[in-house]
């Protein structure tokens, strides 16, 4: 069951420290202000599933496993204009694994495959594409590149959900989110998307808006895989209004997917087709700061 936005935002709204002027003045919280070509951004990104569930359904029997999936990045992004960026991966660490329910995760964080790589990122008709600047991606690298592209594509719900009308602190609203036409493979289909402006905060570099967005989406054949995805999301973000940069962001939700794989129940066993069904409660945190223009 999806918890409505008003359930978790109302206490925050009552706690907001708003002046009388702030409370009554509409504010533009979303407009198209693309960063100039040459702008350098530093991004800290953490995506974590600390204890998810993977159910394996096969003819030889069913199994349920606890699931850990964590990736941490430090990225330096150079805006090139035209929906393109050059991305230096200054740090990448990851920890992933399946283990018996109730057992402690047997996996330790290790060096990620993208560390010290330079990438090319480009907005495409369907989401974002990340590729190595030089050479061809190894399989482990390709998986991470697809994840980054998938994430950036889904985050484009933020401007769509906020719309362009000025809003008052404490106001909630729902924008019409256009649905993709046709089969829409690889495209997120959003539903029940709600947004709200919690408060306007004064910081040394100017006013910032604290915003909230919630909803869900489904997707068929994500990143080209023969799979089905559904996910809920609750986004809290702090947006600097002078340049519409989201300097702080936190997203929580539950990500579910199902797909078929060749599965070997134990060492030496005959491989068989199996269906994996995953339910992954996740937390994403991201911060952005401009290092140069």
Closest CA to 214 of 189, 198, 237, 192: 192
The partner residues of 67 in beta bridges, in order of sequence, read 52, 98
CA 225/CA 164 separation, integer angstroms: 35
**Is 174's pLDDT higher than 90?**
yes
CA 287/CA 249 separation, integer angstroms: 6
What six digits make up the tokens of 287?
Answer: 């911060």
What six digits make up the tokens of 234?
Answer: 């609750």
Of 249 and 22, more confident: 249
Closest CA to 188 of 159, 155, 212: 155
pTM score, whole prediction: 0.88
Of 107 and 230, more confident: 230
pLDDT of 125:
75
Q: Tally DSSP H helices, then E strands, for the chain.
A: 4, 12
Q: With the CA atoms of 229, 235, 239 and 243 taken in that order, what torsion angle do they form, in degrees rounded to the nearest 10?
A: 10
CA 135/CA 109 separation, integer angstroms: 27
Which strand (E) or helix (H) includes residue 206?
strand 206-220
Number of separate domains in the chain: 1
pLDDT band with cut points at 50, 70 and 90 for residue 223: low
User: 276 lies in which domain range?
Assistant: 5-292
Buried b vs exposed e over 125-145: b needs ≥16 C-beta within 10 Å?
A: ebbbbbbbeeeebeeebbebb
pLDDT of 10:
47
Residue recorded with tokens 């090139």: 80
Q: Could you give the 3-state DSSP secondary structure of residue 39?
A: coil
pLDDT of 251:
98
Mean pLDDT of the chain: 89
CATH number at residue 202: 2.30.230
Q: Could you give the 3-state DSSP secondary structure of residue 140?
A: helix
């Amino acid at each position: 069951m999806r918890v409505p936005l008003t359930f978790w935002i109302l206490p925050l709204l009552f706690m907001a420290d708003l002046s009388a002027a702030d409370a009554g003045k509409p504010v533009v919280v979303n407009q198209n202000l693309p960063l100039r070509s040459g702008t350098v951004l530093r991004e800290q990104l953490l995506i974590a599933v600390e204890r998810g569930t993977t159910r394996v359904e096969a003819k030889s029997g069913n199994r349920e496993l606890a699931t850990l999936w964590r990736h941490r990045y430090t990225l330096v992004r150079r805006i090139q204009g035209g929906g393109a960026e050059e991305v230096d991966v200054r740090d990448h660490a990851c920890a992933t694994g399946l283990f018996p329910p109730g057992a402690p995760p047997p996996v330790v964080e290790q060096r990620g495959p993208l560390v010290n790589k330079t990438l090319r990122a480009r907005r495409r008709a369907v989401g974002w594409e990340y590729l190595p600047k030089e050479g061809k991606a190894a399989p482990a690298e390709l998986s991470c590149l697809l994840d980054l592209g998938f994430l950036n594509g889904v985050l484009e719900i933020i401007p769509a959900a906020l719309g362009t009308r000025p809003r008052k602190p404490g106001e909630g609203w729902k924008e019409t989110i256009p649905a993709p036409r046709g089969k829409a493979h690889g495209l997120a289909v959003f539903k029940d998307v709600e947004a709200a402006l919690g408060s306007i905060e004064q910081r040394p570099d100017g006013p910032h808006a604290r915003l909230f967005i919630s909803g869900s989406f489904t997707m068929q054949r994500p990143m080209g895989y023969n799979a089905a995805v559904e996910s809920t999301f609750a986004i809290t973000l702090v947006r600097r209004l002078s340049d519409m940069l989201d300097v702080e962001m936190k997203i929580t939700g539950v990500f579910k997917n199902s797909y078929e794989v060749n599965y070997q129940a134990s060492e030496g066993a005959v491989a068989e087709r199996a269906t994996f069904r995953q339910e992954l409660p996740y937390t994403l945190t991201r911060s952005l700061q401009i290092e140069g223009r």
